[in-house]
Structure 1
């Protein structure tokens, strides 16, 4: 390696070794430090390229590869080269060749300005440790040595860490230790260099460690499609056969856990995993009787007041006279037979969704004016009303809102249920400041995934995903877009595409996939919001990925992800 170090030094002298103060070989030493600084940047660049295909899959193989890259490019090569350069100058100062040619060595004996003879300046004198603790015979001031041996390596460490963090973007930060820990070891191990050589070495190393950020940043992070790619499922290895035990009951085999949801279109009904009609829903509520049968009447639910009216129907606050509890009664507008069957199927699937931040579905009954969905009644105010009256949320409140709503949607998607109309008015903040997702879109006309029986589009134009506005089927990625648009509204007080004069203009803007222009620029969530509002569904992070990212930010900020979004929600009394 000493031959490699002397060759690098000769190349640095050829590359930049001007014959003016402080001397050609002093400049060559600085150039050599700059060349050595390229090795950590090269290692980070290789890691960034590898992660384009591996994403955040950190198994034994990838961890070993990344660890070897970090140790070789940040510790082994820089340490051997820096000490080899110092040994070359020591050899020339002692009368040897140092691996340098005769013509090159001749200028080492030339004196320059305050340096004097370069061979003595670079190859003689104390090493770094002696210069710091036994400062005798120093050519430069003690303060300059302190600057060179503490400030310059510390600054270089900062930019090596930034290179590693850039290479490991869109993933956990701990693998960056493969780079900055070896660098600390290298800097400490370089105390054996001659002091003057080390000064000029670090003077070249620091600026090129800054420039090394550029190629690593240009590679870019791994795409979300790679990050969201599910882990390959491993089949359990068969255990060795055991002799049968008399009168021993066979142990039940647990089914493997289902794979995490990914951004892919749902089937035509958007209900691929919903329970079939006639099967009991997992929880809660009884099996709804078929329309027209005994017990399906509406006398059980006494209506108190109307809560809302829309394309799907009318929502009432009602009292369950049998259980003496307040419920929300959502009555569909004159559904046809196909819609009745769809409502029964999807009501069972919604009843099986069990999440603390997702509105509960209790029953599906036939009222005199149509099928009625019996749901949990939530006190509180819609997010739209809170933001309009009290102003936008801060990053912590918005992060909690995003995390809890993403969890509620993931629970619904796992049951085959899409929301399709996430907007600020469909998120209710209860008196404790906790958020709840309400108003899942149930009724749809026959053979049309985006229109209701009354001709109303599923989804609000200001918050509809581009692919839905263009007529494509809804998917989990569509729900993810609408939730991100709602979070953006919570942070800014306006929809991400801005407001339009009419709903039709807003719908046309969504169908043209106009870029979002009202994102919160200074928010800590700006980056993940931009990714979640991508026009292409396949490029958006999944809700699980968003939740991990947001909860990680909350944890680093010292905040709990399950805390209240706001405490200023007045309690509304029942009539």
Structure 2
């Protein structure tokens, strides 16, 4: 290793050797420190390149690769080179060559300003441990060494941590420990390096590490499609069935024809609880909805309507009183239900019945009312996010971050059950008096005749908040819900839909189908970059809801805020 260190010193001497104070070899030592500082930069660069292909899959080979890069590039190579440089100077001071040429050894014997003879200055003093724990009588000299041998490594540690954060963008930051913990080990193991040599090595190491952030940043984070693939859980492997040996047939019976198999006996089906994988299929099967104890399927005047809450193409929503259970509920009644609408209502009831999330509206029952099939849901006190923003103004970054993280969690819970919302918009988010948001009105049952139609003639979504692919006639997907949630958050921050407002719904629908770029984004918000990524016209380029939740909750934690706090305070309306 001494030959490599001597080659490093000779290269540094050829690159930078100004002939002025404190001396050409002292300057060359700082240049050698800069060359050594390129190793952590190379390690962070390699980690960023690895993540371009693996995303956030931190297990197995990728985690071993990052750990190996950290140990080799941040600990082993810098430590070997730093101790090698120090040993060369000590060898020259003792009368040897240390692998340097005679001319280089002769130049080390020159004197400069306060340094004196360079070979003695760089190789004839105490090491780092002796200098810090057995100081000389000079308080000024001890303060100088304390600042240089402790302060410079601390600043360099911060630079290495910054390298790790840049290399780990769009992902959890904990793998950065595999870079900065080896650096701490390198600093501690370098206690035997000559103190003056260490000072000048750190003076070159620090700026090289700081400037190294630039090439690591140029690598860029992994694409959202790679992150989406890495966030998917691995598919379980099915164990192969052991091969069964063929049945033994006695020789005497080989000529006999086989008897006909007995008729299969039919048994009554066994009731089995549906698995999570079958939850989506269960939601799509029409049929009765599980009802809680004490409820009934027939309306029969059970629900006393108090006031109408909303009216649209899908039907009418009423605030009602359940006379049997004595609670206030919300009744969603379909307009002139036909068979298709009735089946869609049943699917919506089944889908909502399977959800168990504190920020999703709960479904209680599905009943027959005199004017149609009615979905009985939890009644949420408060007002819509649209009204809250219109009356109280846009939300700040903290409130919008809480809104985004909370609703991303709610939609993820719905997607885990095979349920899409398909109509995310500010009017479908209720903010209760405590300021907590709740997701309502999953877009499954819709009436015919509205502006945006699917292949079966059913309207899905609202034009101002419709994802480009669904506006163009493609089927909805979790990425569509993620786009509409980002559009809702953009409205909460700016007071406008991301594409701005149009004069007619048809114009808004055409703008969505053409995937017009957002024009009313909150550019000054800290969430602007993530909003731009989430509103990408290509679904495969958008971050997943899990990635969005992780990014936003990470930002909230860094600013010292909780993700489950209120998004706005709502004063209940007077009845």
Shorter-chain TM-score above 0.5: yes
Q: Is this contact kept in 1: 2:533–2:542, CA < 8 A?
A: yes
Secondary structure, counterpart of 2:500 in structure 1:
coil
Cα shift at 1:257: 7.2
Choose which of 303, 316, 327 in structure 1 pairs with 2:329.
Answer: 327
Any residues of structure 2 matched to 1:226-305 within 5 Å, and which?
226-229=226-229, 230-235=232-237, 258=276, 272-278=281-287, 280-282=288-290, 295=298, 299-305=301-307
Partner of 1:22: 22
Cα 1:256–1:318 shift into 2, 3 Å: closer
SS of residue in 2 equivalent to 1:228 = helix
1:89-109 Cα distance to aligned partner (Å, 9 max, x none): 111122101111123223222
Give the 5 Å matches for 1:79-478: 79-136=79-136, 142-229=142-229, 230-235=232-237, 258=276, 272-278=281-287, 280-282=288-290, 295=298, 299-444=301-446, 450-451=452-453, 457-478=459-480
Instruction: Decide whether the 8 Å contact of 1:285 with 1:362 is kept in 2.
Output: no
Q: 1:135 to 1:555 in 2, by over 3 A?
A: closer
User: With structure 2 as the length reference, what TM-score do the two structures score?
Assistant: 0.84
Distance 1:126 1:345, change over 3 A: closer
Alpha-carbon shift at residue 572 of structure 1 (Å): 4.8
Q: CA deviation at 1:157?
A: 1.1
Note closer, same or farther for the CA distance 1:315–1:445 as it changes in structure 2 (3 Å cut): closer
1:322 to 1:142, Cα distance in 2 relative to 1, 3 A: closer
Unaligned runs of 5+ in 1: 239-253, 262-270, 290-294
Kept in 1, the 8 Å contact 2:335–2:447? The answer is no
1:82 deviates by 0.8
Return the alpha-carbon distance in structure 1 between the equivalents of residues 188 and 50 of structure 2: 30
Aligned length in residues: 544
Give the TM-score of the pair, scaled to structure 1. Answer: 0.84
Deviation string 1:523-555 (CA, Å, 9 cap, x unpaired) is 454443333222221222222333334344445
Identify the range of structure 1 (378-387 vs 561-570) with the bigger mean alpha-carbon deviation.
561-570
Q: Decide whether aligned partners of structure 1 residues 288 and 5 sit closer, same or farther in structure 2, where only a CA change above 3 A counts.
A: farther
Query: Higher mean Cα deviation, 52-61 or 193-202?
Result: 52-61
Q: What is the match of residue 58 of structure 1?
A: 58
In structure 2, the gaps of 5 or more residues are: 241-271
CA drift of 1:351 comes to 3.0
Are residues 132 and 522 of structure 1, via their aligned partners in 2, closer, same or farther at CA, if it must alter by over 3 Å?
farther
Do the aligned residues in 2 keep the contact of 1:55 with 1:227 (CA within 8 Å)? yes
Which among 539, 553, 570 is matched to residue 572 of structure 2? 570
Deviates more, 1:303-312 or 1:4-13: 303-312
The whole-number CA distance in structure 2 between the counterparts of 1:462 and 1:288 is 39
After TM superposition, give the deviation of residue 460 of structure 1 in Å. 2.2
Q: Partners of 1:260 and 1:17 in 2: how far apart?
A: 72
| 1:544 correspondence with 2:537 | no
Question: Which SS does the other structure have where 2:375 is aligned?
Answer: strand
CA 1:447–1:81 in structure 2 vs 1: closer, same or farther (change >3 Å)? farther
Q: For the residues of structure 1 that align with 2:177 and 2:300, how far apart are their CA atoms?
A: 65
1:5 is displaced (CA, Å) by 0.7
Per-residue CA shift, 1:29-81, capped at 9, x if unaligned? 11111100000011111111112222222224433332221121111111111
| CA 1:195–1:350: 2 relative to 1, 3 Å | closer
Q: Which residue of 2 aligns with 1:48?
A: 48
Structure 2 counterpart SS, 1:22? coil
Q: In 2, are the aligned partners of 1:315 and 1:331 still within 8 Å (CA)?
A: yes
- Classify the secondary structure of the residue corresponding to 2:283: coil
Match of 1:473, SS state, is coil
SS of the counterpart of 1:37? helix
Partner SS state of residue 480, structure 1: helix
Q: 329-338 vs 434-443, which deviates more? A: 329-338
Change (3 A) 1:108 1:557: closer
Partners of 2:535 and 2:542 within 8 A in 1: yes
CA contact under 8 A between 2:381 and 2:572: conserved in structure 1? no
C-alpha distance 375-231 of structure 1, shift in aligned 2 (>3 A): closer
8 Å CA contact 2:308–2:316 kept in 1: the answer is yes
User: Per-residue deviation at 1:456?
Assistant: 8.5
Q: Deviations over 1:356-396 (max 9, x none)?
A: 32222333444454443332222211111112222233344
Inter-CA distance 223–549: structure 2 relative to 1 (3 Å threshold) = same
Between 41-50 and 125-134, report the one with greater CA deviation: 125-134
Partner of residue 241, structure 1: none
Distance in structure 2 (CA, Å) of the matches to 1:454 and 1:467: 17
The 3 A distance-change label for structure 1 pair 148 and 354 is closer
Which is worse superposed, 90-99 or 144-153? 144-153
CA displacement, residues 444-499 of structure 1 (integer Å, 9 cap, x when unaligned): 46899942899895322222212222222111111111112212222333323333
Change (3 A) 1:381 1:451: same
Measured in 1, the distance between the counterparts of 2:236 and 2:384 equals 45
Tell me how far apart the structure 1 counterparts of residues 114 and 567 of structure 2 sit (CA, whole Å): 66
Closer, same or farther in 2 for the Cα pair 1:233/1:105, shift >3 Å? Answer: same
In structure 2, distance between residues paired with 1:257 and 1:104: 76
**Is contact 1:432-1:569 (8 Å) kept?**
no
Verify the 8 A CA contact 2:291 2:365 in the aligned structure 1: no
Residue 73 in structure 1 maps to residue 82 in structure 2 = no
Change (3 A) 1:517 1:192: farther
Which of 512, 515, 525 is equivalent to 2:514? 512
Distance apart, 1:176 and its partner CA:
1.1
